[in-house]
């Protein structure tokens, strides 16, 4: 039986951005689930932290493992370090994913702005959705959620990507994570590299390519 696919979204986006990709995978017979980050949509103070997000992903993974199913993680953007810190899996697919080693101390995001207790993506229409066609771009811009301003200055304590093989989908049109940085992150993880011409959200602009890479990794 093919492994279950667990998709972990990045900051600001929530699970809905991956519904199209998940539907395409399910249509091809892959059991596919999307994790929810408890911090997304909240503001500081009193917000869920990075540790809470990691715990939520771990709990979701545990539910799958307790069904005696193997898991492949599909990690987008910040989901790269959140999902990698959760627990062991059989394989990881990074989609423009953030990959950090153990001991790395998280720094403020260079493409985020903080207003009050909330962190927002600066110019998301350019950094995230530049290659998403209208009117979908306007719809997704309206769907964006805040991340809390506090709780993201911790240290990476576990890097699960060291334990399993991985694939890294480099998004060559990405204005948030430059291609040389993505190549460096993929090299750190020892990932097999795939490429597409999309921006930072290929799950919206090129879902077919994302599905192709995930399916190949799951075979």
Average pLDDT (132-149) is: 95
Q: What percent of the chain lies above the pLDDT cut of 90? A: 92
Domains of the chain: 4-218 (3.40.50.1820)
Q: Which of 98-112, 153-167, 194-208 has the highest mean pLDDT?
A: 194-208
pLDDT tens-place string over residues 78-97: 999 999 998 778 999 999 99
Instruction: Kindly provide the residue ranges of all beta strands, DSSP E only, lying in the chain, ordered along the sequence.
Output: 4-8, 32-34, 71-76, 91-95, 112-115, 118-121, 147-148, 166-171, 192-196
pLDDT reading at 191 higher than 80:
yes
Give the pLDDT confidence of 35-86 residue by residue, as tens digits.
Answer: 999 999 999 999 999 999 999 999 999 999 999 999 999 999 999 999 999 8
Q: How much is the mean pLDDT over the chain? A: 95
Helix, strand, or coil here: 34?
Answer: strand
Overall average pLDDT of the 97-105 stretch: 95
| The pLDDT value given to residue 219 | 87
> With 90 as the cut, is the pLDDT of residue 108 above it?
no
């Amino acid at each position: 039986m093919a492994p279950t696919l667990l998709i972990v979204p990045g900051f600001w986006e929530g699970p809905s951005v991956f519904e199209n990709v998940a539907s395409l995978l399910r249509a091809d017979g892959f059991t596919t689930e999307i994790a929810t980050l408890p911090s997304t949509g909240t503001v500081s103070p009193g917000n869920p932290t990075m540790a809470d997000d990691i715990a939520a992903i771990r709990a979701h993974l545990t539910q799958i493992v307790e069904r005696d199913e193997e898991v492949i993680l599909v990690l987008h953007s910040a989901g790269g370090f959140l999902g990698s810190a959760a627990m062991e899996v059989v394989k990881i697919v990074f989609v423009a994913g953030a990959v950090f080693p153990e001991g790395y101390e998280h720094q403020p995001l260079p493409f985020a702005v903080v207003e009050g207790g909330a962190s927002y993506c600066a110019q998301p229409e350019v950094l995230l959705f530049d290659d998403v066609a209208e009117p979908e771009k306007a719809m997704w811009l309206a769907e964006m959620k805040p991340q809390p301003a506090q709780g993201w200055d911790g240290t990476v304590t576990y890097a699960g990507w060291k334990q399993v093989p991985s694939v890294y989908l480099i998004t060559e049109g990405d204005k948030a994570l430059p291609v040389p940085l993505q190549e460096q992150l993929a090299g750190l993880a020892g990932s097999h590299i795939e490429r597409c011409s999309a921006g930072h959200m290929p799950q919206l602009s090129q879902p077919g390519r994302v599905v192709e890479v995930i399916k190949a990794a799951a075979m």
